[in-house]
Structure 1
Amino acid sequence: MKADSVTLLAEATSGDDPIVSLGATVELRRELERLEAVLVRRARTQGRTWTRIAAALGISKQAVHRKYGGRGLFRNQE
């Protein structure tokens, strides 16, 4: 999904119809989760540590490793 699609979804969350806004919120959340996973994978591929990634996400190293560490592409050790 492109950035302009994310922008449109974000704008749709403040519409007059709460059902439409809820649907947009669900889609936006899915897209942001996908984007986060892509960026974590990119960071690991570039050699960034779990500690640094966790700091960028504002969560613990254990939390980020638990969420993304079990995936084959993230098996690099610090």
Structure 2
Amino acid sequence: MGLRAVGALHRLAEQVEAAAVARARQQGWSWEQIGDALGVSRQSAHAKHGK
């Protein structure tokens, strides 16, 4: 039961992150700014969320 809850939270966090990144891109944020906000490199942010 605990692991299922963790999995559900992880999926929810991924969805929230993707929506926030999409909004940031719409507002003109650079991949460097997004990476900084997420605590990852710009390359990692772009690899995960870029289209």
The answer, yes or no, to whether TM exceeds 0.5 is yes
Could you tell me which amino acid in structure 2 is paired with residue 29 of structure 1? H
Higher helix share: 2
Structure 1 residue corresponding to 2:12, chosen from 31, 34, 39: 31
Size of the aligned set, in residue pairs, is 51
Deviation string 1:13-33 (CA, Å, 9 cap, x unpaired) is xxxxxxx11010000000000
Point out where structure 1 has 5 or more consecutive residues left out of the alignment: 1-19, 71-78
Residue-by-residue CA offset, 1:45-64 (whole Å, 9 max, x unaligned): 01111100000000000000
Question: TM-score, normalized by length of structure 1?
Answer: 0.64
Give the alignment's Cα RMSD to 1 decimal. 0.5
Identify the match of residue 29 of structure 2 among 48, 51, 56: 48
Q: Quick one: distance in 1 between partners of 2:5 and 2:29?
A: 32
TM-score, with structure 2 as normaliser: 0.96
Misfit runs of 4+, over 6 Å = none
| Alignment partners' CA distance in 1, 2:50 and 2:20 | 14
- Structure 2 SS opposite 1:59: coil
Bigger radius of gyration: 1
